[in-house]
Amino acid sequence: MKIGFVGTGVMGSKMVINLLNAGYEVNVYNRTKAHAQEVIDHGAKWCDSPKTAALKSDLIITIVGFPKDVREVYFGPTGIFAGAHPGLLAIDMTTSSPKLAIEIAAKAQEFKMSALDAPVSGGDVGAQKETLTIMVGGRKEDFQRALPIFEVLGNSVRLFGHSGQGQKSKMANQIMIAGTMTGMVQSLSYAKKSGLNQADIIEMISQGAAKNWSMSNYGPRILKGDFKPGFSAKHFLKDLRIALESAEELGLEMPATKTARDLYQIMVDDELGDEGTQALIKIYR
């Protein structure tokens, strides 16, 4: 199977390398070619557009920044649909709009191709270690076809229902992460102001009822002053906006998630949007 891959950023580059190591031929495109050089050096084949990557592939994966980028990659003049061919399976692994996922799946049918929405959780560490959680929306037969690829990239894969349900599952995940990230930075800020050893607090929390992935993985990075983006604040802000928009459509109020959105908006306004989500602690200092 020949795989196309659009988006070789923090997550995508590691995913491409894992696919290459698993023996797949991978055709890659990235808006900035220099950011794809690492995967090209590992054996990926460069394409000059998503269209070209689609034409050369049986299955194409996209993981880009924002819904507007997803739309351009699929619907643009040199996008995937411009290179559509019967039997092509397109998988968008960007965290994006559920409505856009449904739109992509409907358009794919016009070209006798298929589409899945399959956003991931696990950050750069999960991408590197092949331990991503993958949440999928789409037809069961397309899911089964993609499953061997998903199993290279992650260790927890689930089909949640029709197109758009993968994105909605990711929104449920991000709503939870909003709570754990804001709770973590407030806990560590409180500990510091109280004269407590923050490393001891991280160890204690990681062994008790408040144990959570954010504290275990990002707490130690904060103590080292490591704010490199396993997942950037600006992209998390995008996710929270999508989650709140989706919740509003369902008639749900999400005050805690709104607070998290507002805090990450402060980060972006303070020009910290390219730093990791753990850099939220900087606004408490």
Strand boundaries in 125-261, DSSP class E:
132-137, 154-161
Same domain, 142 and 258: no
Q: Residue type for 109, please?
A: Q
Query: Residues 39, 81: one domain?
Result: yes
End position of a domain, from candidates 111, 133, 162:
162
Domain boundary (118, 144, 162) is at 162
The last residue of one of the domains, among 142, 162, 182, is: 162
pLDDT, residue 285, reads: 78
When pLDDT is averaged across residues 130-134 and rounded to a whole number, the result is 98
Choose, from 14, 170, 234, 238, the residue flagged as catalytic.
Answer: 170
- Which tokens go with 234? 């600006």
Q: Are residues 80 and 193 in the same domain?
A: no
Asked whether residue 124 falls in the same domain as residue 187, the answer is: no
Q: Residue 195 has which token pair?
A: 């004269």
Angle between helices 255-269 and 233-249 (to 10 degrees): 150
Locus of tokens 């991931």: 120
Q: Are residues 280 and 210 in the same domain?
A: yes
Residue span of the structural domain in which 94 resides: 2-162
25-29 and 45-46 strand pairing:
parallel
Specify whether the CB–CB gap between 174 and 236 falls below 8 A. yes
- pLDDT tens digits, residue range 199-236? 999 999 999 999 999 999 999 999 999 999 989 999 99
Percent of the chain's residues with pLDDT above 90: 97
* Count of domains forming the chain: 2
Whichever domain contains 62, its CATH number is: 3.40.50.720
Residues 152 and 174 in one domain: no
CATH number, residue 229: 1.10.1040.10
Annotation marks residue 170 as catalytic? yes
155 and 196 belong to one structural domain: no
Q: Are residues 158 and 183 in the same domain?
A: no
Assess whether 99 and 38 both reside in one domain. Answer: yes
pLDDT for position 83: 98
Asked whether residue 21 falls in the same domain as residue 153, the answer is: yes
pLDDT (0 to 100) of residue 135 = 99
For the segment 44-96, what is each residue's pLDDT rounded down to a tens digit?
999 999 999 999 999 999 999 999 999 999 999 999 999 999 999 999 999 99
Please, are residues 61 and 5 in contact by the beta-carbon 8 Å criterion? yes
- Is residue 46 located within the same domain as residue 98? yes
Is there a single domain that holds both residue 33 and residue 152?
yes
